[in-house]
Each structure stands twice: as structure tokens, then as C-alpha cells.
Amino acid sequence: MERRSFLKKPGPDLLSAPSPRRRSGRAPSRKSSGALAASWPKSLDTIFGGAELISSAAPSATNGKFQIQVFAAGEIVPGLQVLDAVQNATVQCCHTAPYYFFGKDPTFAFACAIPFGLNARMQNAWMYHGGGLALMREFMKDYNVYNIPAGNTGAQMGGFFRKELKTVADMKGLKMRIGGSAGVVMQKLGLVPQQIAGGDIYPALEKGTIDAAEWVGPYDDEKLGLYKVAKYYYYPGWWEGGPELDLFVNTKAWSELPKDYQSILEAACAEANIDMVAKYDALNPAALRRLVAAGVQLRPFPREIMQASYKAAVEVYDEFATTNAKFKKVYEPWKKFRDEEILWFRVAEQNFDQFMATASQQSAAPAKKG
């Protein structure tokens, strides 16, 4: 039996003709080719690299028979419209941050990150072994999407601000590029959130259309050049403790994909999930040093702002759970899982990290004379 097409680019069928039949009379597999729309510009080799890794793994594992062509944000679909394109089968898959589609339903954010949520390891635990993936796949059926975890940035920075923040009052009236449910939380503090794709952040900050912007962390932020127009660099990005990136596949395209190709795609996404956070962890330290050397003022968010933000986040989630049954269905088990994970991480991970941070700082300090 011939394998059916998985991916077809809009327009003419890209599939090659079937190869001659074997002696058994069965037709061998024909090639599958098509389009993946990414939400990222090519310049961001870390996050766009996740989409590239997936596209390169497919032909590598199939002797070139399974081809996926990656298109950067804006090449065929704007970065923030990739879900619509997959849902409508304009393209067959996309690589994106699920919380970009928070405006359609806040439940999307659980497949990425919500304020004061999970770190990268906790997110993987939740999705792979805590029931999260099953819940999110059930939710995304309504959007004609089969979702696969396919990347993580690790804990992010809080972004670049034109002015220093000292109190909650300093947040009022600021226009900030910020993604997902964090914008709703920030609104409670008086900030005006803006949803802007990665490649458009610098021009908006440079022109003064926005007063602050967050993206990922030092390596990407340096590439975007945000430090050239805003000097105060805040941490942590409390709204993105471990944001997951996903591959969204059109459900019909997924069902037509042969089982072995499905497995190949799942494995490629798992590799991207591991590789991306590892790459960020390897590249961010040196990038942060370069930013500080270039005059960036590194600042922790004041405790007053952190506490007010946490309070606002809890209020937002309670409001959503009251009015949105889909959100509540995911939020309640998610919250229980998060609280258990935090208890465990406090025992081993947190104590180890704290000790090592202190020990490393002490060993790096110059010895006192005499």
C-alpha cells in the first residue's frame, strides 16, 4: 500500500511519483514533502534552530524520503498567525510558543508557560509524566492541532526597560512587549502589554512605540540588539520559568502520516526539546558578560513588584477558572503538580544550587592579604 502524503506545500503537489513496484507487487513508499512555518526569525539560531533540527532529522532518518521545509516568520505566514495557518491547512505544521494564542483561550498557555509556573524540568515532568500532554492534546483537538513538545528556553530574563523600576507605581503606563498571560497580570499593575513578534521588537523599542521588551535571555536579546536602546535589564522573567515550544501539526495531516514517520517526528521534537535548553544554557553566560561589559545595568525586580505580581497572577487564574471550564480542567491538576514539584525541588535542587552559587562566588573572590 502506498503511503499517503503528510506535508504538501500550498499549491502544486510536491510529492514525487511512486517508485517502480517491488516483485512482491507492493508499492514502496513515496516521498513526503512540505512546509513548516516558524514563529521566529532566522537570526535567532537557538529558537529557530529547533525548527531546523526537526526538519533535518526527518530526511536523515528516512534516507531523504521525509522532507520538511522550514519557513521563518513572515516568509509565508506572520509569526503570530501560524496556528491559524495550521488549523486551516494553509501549512501542515508550525513551530511556535503556544501562549502566543492566549487571546483565543488562556488554556493554551499551559503548553508553554504561565506566570509563577514551572521551570524547564518541571514542565517536562508535567507534560511527559504528569498528565499535561494528554490534557493539552484533548484541548487542542478543538483547534485541529496535534501538539508535540519541541523546545524549551529555560528560565528567561525579565526584559529591557528604558527606566529603572523601584516600586509598583513605576510600572503604571509603561507599554511593554510581553507574551502570553503575563500581559493580563501586568495590566493589574498598570502596565500596558503589547504582543509583538520577535523580529519586530527592536524597531518598536527604538521608535518608542514601547517602553520595555522581553524576549528570552542574554544570547537572543544581544542578537536582537535590545540593549542598544534600553539599558536596564531585569531578572527573573517570573512569567517564563521554563517556557515550552511546540510543533503544531494539522490533525488530518498527522493522521495521514505513516506510523513510522509519526515516530520519527516525535523523536525529532524530543531531541529539539533537549537540545534547545542545552544550547541556551551554554551560550547565555558569555552573552550576559558581554551585555554587562557594553554598559547594560543588570537589576533584580524589586521584591515589592514580585510580590504584587504573584498576588495579581493568583487573582487572574482564579478569575479564569471561574469563567472558563477548559482552563479550570487543566489548572487544577497543574497547580497540584506544581506545588508538589516545588516541595521536591526545595529539598535537593534548590539547596545544591544555593550552595554552589555561594561556593563559586567565594572561590572566585581574591584572597585577603595578611
Q: In what order do the strands lie in the sheet with 192-194?
A: 192-194, 175-177, 212-213, 159-161, 232-235, 297-300
Rounded distance between C-alpha atoms, residue 209 and residue 107, angstroms: 29
Residue 15: what pLDDT? 27
Q: What is the pLDDT of residues 28-54, one digit of tens each?
A: 455 777 899 999 999 999 999 999 999
Mean pLDDT of the chain: 91
Q: Is residue 326, in this structure, part of any structural domain at all?
A: no
> Rounded mean pLDDT of 85-114?
97
261 found inside a domain: yes
pLDDT at 197: 87
User: Which three-class secondary structure state does DSSP give residue 246?
Assistant: strand
**Residue-wise DSSP of 40-64:** S-TT-TTHHHHHHHHHHHHHHHTTT
206 exposure class (CB count in 10 Å sphere: 0-12, 13-18, 19+) = middle
* Radius of gyration of the chain, Cα coordinates, nearest whole angstrom: 22
Q: Does the residue 317 lie in any domain?
A: no
Please state, in angstroms and rounded to a whole number, the distance separating the CA atoms of residues 161 and 297. 10
pTM, 2 dp: 0.90
At 18 the pLDDT is 33
Task: Specify the pLDDT at position 232.
Answer: 98
> pLDDT (tens digit, 9 = 90+) per residue, 321-336?
999 999 999 999 999 9
pLDDT in tens, 85-97: 999 999 999 999 9
Residue 267 banded pLDDT, cuts 50, 70, 90: very high
283's enclosing H/E stretch is helix 259-293
User: Residue 305: inside a domain, yes or no?
Assistant: no
Structural domain range at position 83: 35-155+242-281
Within a domain: residue 287? no
What is the CATH classification number for the domain harbouring 254?
3.40.190.170
Band of residue 349 on the pLDDT scale cut at 50, 70, 90:
very high
> Does 110 map to a domain?
yes
Q: How many domains does the chain have?
A: 1
Is residue 236 reached through a cis peptide bond, with omega within 30 degrees of 0 on the bond before it? yes
Q: Is residue 273 part of a domain?
A: yes
Query: Closest Cα partner for 44 from 212, 245, 253, 280?
Result: 280
**Domain-embedded: residue 21:** no
Across the range 226-252, mean pLDDT stands at: 97
Query: Which residue type, as a one-letter code, is found at position 285?
Result: P
